[in-house]
Amino acid sequence: MENCIFCKIIQGEIPAKKVFEDEQILVVEDVSPQAPLHLLIFPKRHFVNCLDMSPDDDAVVGYIFRKAGEIARQRGVDGSGFRLVQNNGAGVGQSVFHIHFHLLAGRTFGWPPG
Ligand code: DGP
């Protein structure tokens, strides 16, 4: 997708600190970390958020959840806990309009979220 930062990262046009990559997804460090561990997990296929999903996108979302658990275990935050956040719309803070999941850990998190 033209002018999409995450598509440009996928295509190697913008640098990013890659944590994991395969044919379906990319995991990178967030450029502006909000916790000691702050990763972004996103599919390579561009869609905006859950309002823009087709049935073809269902499987990758499940895969992202399972991969998030794997990474949390690898990073040693499975015991202390971690948060997955996915914003849908500018009104709740979505600033990059290519679906992504924030994996956050390593500090105390409040509830309800701000
Ligand atoms: P959201 O607000 O949910 O759309 O989150 C977008 C996140 O993307 C935000 O935490 C900052 C991050 N971000 C924006 N531009 C870049 C970039 O060029 N590289 C990386 N690694 N992260 C980015």
pLDDT in tens, 30-45: 999 999 999 999 999 9
Q: How many domains does the chain have?
A: 1
Give the Cα separation of 42 and 98 in Å (integer).
8
- 100 as an active site residue: the answer is yes
Q: Per the domain annotation, does 21 fall within a domain?
A: yes
Residue 43 included in any domain: yes
93 CA: nearest ligand 1 atom: 2
Say if 112 falls within a structural domain: no
For residue range 63-77, what is the model confidence (pLDDT) as tens digits? 999 999 999 999 999
Q: Is residue 79 part of a domain?
A: yes
| Half-sphere exposure at residue 27, Cβ-oriented, CA atoms within 13 angstroms | 20
CB within 8 Å of 83: residues ≥ 6 apart: 102, 103, 104, 105, 109
Residue nearest to atom 19 of ligand 1 (CA): 31
**Would you say residue 110 lies in a domain?**
no
What CATH number does residue 77 fall under? Answer: 3.30.428.10
Whole-model pTM over 0.95: yes
Two tokens, residue 38? 């702050």
Q: Which residue range(s) make up the domain with 101?
A: 5-105
